[in-house]
Amino acid sequence: MKITAHRPKSGRFRLIRQTLSELPPPSSYAPVSTAVEKSALLGEDQISATLTSLLSLPQSTAVFANPVQHQATATCQDTEIDLQIRSFAIRGLVQEGEIVSGQLTPAQLVFTGLFGQQPQTLDDLDQAKLLESLINRKFFRIVREKRISLDGSATIPHLVATFMTAYPEAGPELAVQYLSTLQKSQPSSRTDRGFSDQRHIGLFLIQQIAAHMNNVAVGAMSTYMRYLLAEKPDLLSAELAQQTADFITQHRDEGRTAFQTTYSLLLGRKTTEIEGRILEVMGMIQTHHGSAASNMVARYMASLHAVSISDFFVASQMILDGKRHFGAIHNMTSFVRELEQLSTQERESVIREKVLTGGLPTFGHPEISAAGRGQQIQQDPRAAIYLSPLFDAVDSGQIELSDNRLRSLKIVQRIYQIVFVEGVVKPGHEEDPPLRLTPNTDFGAWCVQEALGISDPDRTLLTYIFRGFGWIMDGREQLQLKIIRPVIAPDPVIIPDFEEDQTVPGQVLNVHDRLSQTSNAFTKN
């Protein structure tokens, strides 16, 4: 992965600044524009007009691709199913297989996505190490930074602890939003000029990474504090803050990275090597996923020049936690808890009903053909990528699951069998092939986090940690493009007939005439 190159001797600072100021150009591929031109040449005016309304949307991206790359045959009882397996690439340079095989660090992956090139070593400057150092520094400084709250100035760990003692069941997203609001109210926040295509590229990137890692630290601290409060509900805020800060500092002193420290905070204890590896692969795979809702919101926020960097991340996180996005993980927890109360026969009936009514969480996908009654179906490989190292660790004895977790996971296994292996037949259509759905990324993420004991409120945090860098990648590209202005075609039924009332046109002309006069239009006429 790493390439060594040589350049003439230059100041190290200048080289660092040059590295961080690289900005890959946006894609020049414009399929909609081409289609508009062709439809106009063919005299297809209606098609041309419809396509023209799409020109204000990003036509292509140079960040992420997710094509069908593999084919495999899965045996589902007596039926062979042709799986069309999709696989992603970042910038056309990093593929899933490199992450799965452990060839990349998080910093190498993120560097490639941010800068459109693989990290190199230039005049003894390791670009991946430079980025990793920046990420670590912005994360670990959290233990000593202060904010001004209604009760005066306090360290961030203390502010998070005060929040968590007041709201011990709050998820990490709420802690992030709370501290983000405080950050925006600080006098120093006036230096946060938000998003603009006029910003200094390198400095702006550093500020985005700082804001994101601040949020990551706040969210991860809140999860760790919830574990501490579960053990000692009467723990004082000061003690809670100190224990959390000490835990983070200990990881830093042991040479652990910011990412590795968040894994421990997420588990409420120091991770083992295999646990860290499982979580890291799962997080890296989730760094980007094309036009996923949270990525599109990030593009909107960048395109519309969000007034603060904090807003960019908070808005994207809100969508990430949506019930039809990664929030489906929480839906799965609720569904499994519901099934645990039922008999085996009742469970299977409820599962099949969910499939037919479209309410089953963590299966299917809106952008790919992940459901069907035929013998070919598209497969999102991410669930398998997450589960594979977990199964290896269980088989080798490195991870042992409690009876309670095994019971929950057995139910989820049965869901998989009913939904994909057996398929579901619609009543009255017994002669038709069964409907099958493949699991999506949420299925694997839920299973792994259930197995490792990560609390349900915290199960989208790992995705946020890595997806935040994907949002930065999108924002950097989008700022180079024109403003996003989607046009949603109205149903012809709601288009009114020609309006004879001339009130509005009259106002338009009257205002025009007044503004056109030589005298001050805003004085008495």
Structure tokens belonging to residue 141: 């400084």
Which two three-digit tokens encode residue 385?
A: 């990528």
Cα–Cα distance measured from residue 57 to residue 485, given in angstroms and rounded to the nearest whole number: 6
Nearest 5°: the CA angle 143, 149, 153 is: 55
Rounded to the nearest 5 degrees, what angle is found at the Cα of 272, between the Cα atoms of 267 and 276?
Answer: 70
User: Above 90 in pLDDT, residue 518?
Assistant: no
Please give the distance of CA 62 from its chain centroid, rounded to a whole number: 18
- Residue 106: how many CA atoms within 13 Å on its side-chain side? 26
Q: Do domains 95-326+461-478 and 328-451 have the same CATH topology?
A: no
pLDDT at 326: 83
The model's pLDDT over 12-36, given as tens digits with 9 standing for 90+, comes to: 888 999 999 999 999 999 999 999 9
Average pLDDT, stretch 443-463?
95
CA distance 66 to 88: 4
**What are the tokens at 88?**
């992603």
CB atoms inside a 10 Å sphere around CB 153 = 10
Q: Per-residue pLDDT tens for 281-298? A: 999 999 998 889 999 999
The pTM for the full model equals 0.92
- Please determine, for residue 331, whether its predicted confidence score (pLDDT) is greater than 70: yes
Domain 328-451 homologous superfamily, CATH: Cytochrome P450-Terp, domain 2 (1.10.230.10)
Quote the pLDDT of residue 190: 54
Residue boundaries of the structural domains of the chain: 28-60, 95-326+461-478, 328-451
Residue type, 4: T
pLDDT digits (tens, 9 = 90+) for 43-84: 999 999 889 888 888 899 999 988 888 999 999 988 999 999
**What tens digit of pLDDT does each residue of 411-422 get?**
999 999 999 999
Q: Considering the chain, what is the average pLDDT of its residues?
A: 91
Q: Which of 232, 261, 230, 229 is nearest to 247 (CA)?
A: 261
Under CATH, to which class is 95-326+461-478 assigned?
mainly alpha
> 78-135: per-residue pLDDT in tens?
899 999 998 889 999 999 999 999 999 999 999 999 999 999 998 889 999 999 999 9
